[in-house]
């Protein structure tokens, strides 16, 4: 939609952007963080649903995005890529039983940086893991306190 077309019906749609930028992992990552920081765990479909509201129609079309034989939308593929990065970095673990990625307290520095950057709060189960790790130190194990 261009400026002239937007003026034909003022107040109904307003001036819209001509193009929505194509998705990449940098655009997908904040959506994943938002769900993980709120709930502490997420399913791929939850992140995909959040992104679908703002992404281009082209990103919702099914295609082959990797060497596999599975047809995925670009959104599904990129969410999978981001979650794989999170697992490699030690930020998440995958719960096969519930098909969920769960935030862990393994990469403490990164988690604190993200929470600080968005002026947010870490999920309670992560804070409890921090506390448990802090209490369970090698020195305490050696002398039998834990």
Task: Give per-residue pLDDT as tens, 30-58.
Answer: 999 999 988 889 999 999 999 988 888 88
Q: What radius of gyration, in Å, describes the C-alpha atoms of the chain?
A: 21
| Residue 116 within any structural domain of the chain | yes
H helix intervals, 12-70? 25-39, 44-52
Q: Which residues pair with 72 in a beta bridge?
A: 63
Element (H, E) at 135: helix 124-135
| Residue 12 within any structural domain of the chain | no
Q: Contact 90/79 with Cβ under 8 angstroms?
A: no
| Residue 15 within any structural domain of the chain | no
The fraction of the chain above a pLDDT of 90, given in percent, is 27
CA gap 35, 5 in Å, rounded: 37
| Residue 79 within any structural domain of the chain | yes
Total domains present in the chain: 1
| Residue 58 within any structural domain of the chain | yes
CATH code of the domain containing 128: 1.10.10.10
| Residue 34 within any structural domain of the chain | yes
pTM confidence score:
0.71
CA gap 25, 75 in Å, rounded: 10
Structural domain of 33 = 20-142
| Residue 9 within any structural domain of the chain | no
| Residue 13 within any structural domain of the chain | no
pLDDT of the residue at 146: 47
């Amino acid at each position: 939609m261009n400026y002239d077309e937007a003026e034909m019906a003022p107040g109904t749609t307003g001036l819209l952007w001509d193009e929505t930028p194509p998705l990449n992992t940098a655009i997908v990552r904040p959506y994943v963080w938002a769900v993980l920081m709120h709930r502490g765990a997420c399913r791929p479909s939850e992140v995909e649903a959040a992104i679908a509201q703002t992404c281009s129609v082209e990103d919702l079309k099914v295609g082959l995005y990797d060497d596999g034989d599975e047809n995925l939308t670009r959104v599904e593929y990129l969410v999978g890529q981001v979650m794989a990065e999170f697992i490699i970095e030690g930020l998440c673990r995958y719960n096969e039983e519930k098909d969920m990625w769960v935030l862990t307290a393994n990469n403490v520095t990164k988690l604190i940086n993200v929470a600080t950057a968005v002026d947010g709060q870490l999920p309670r189960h992560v804070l409890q893991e921090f506390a448990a790790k802090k209490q369970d130190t090698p020195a305490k194990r050696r002398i039998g306190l834990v």
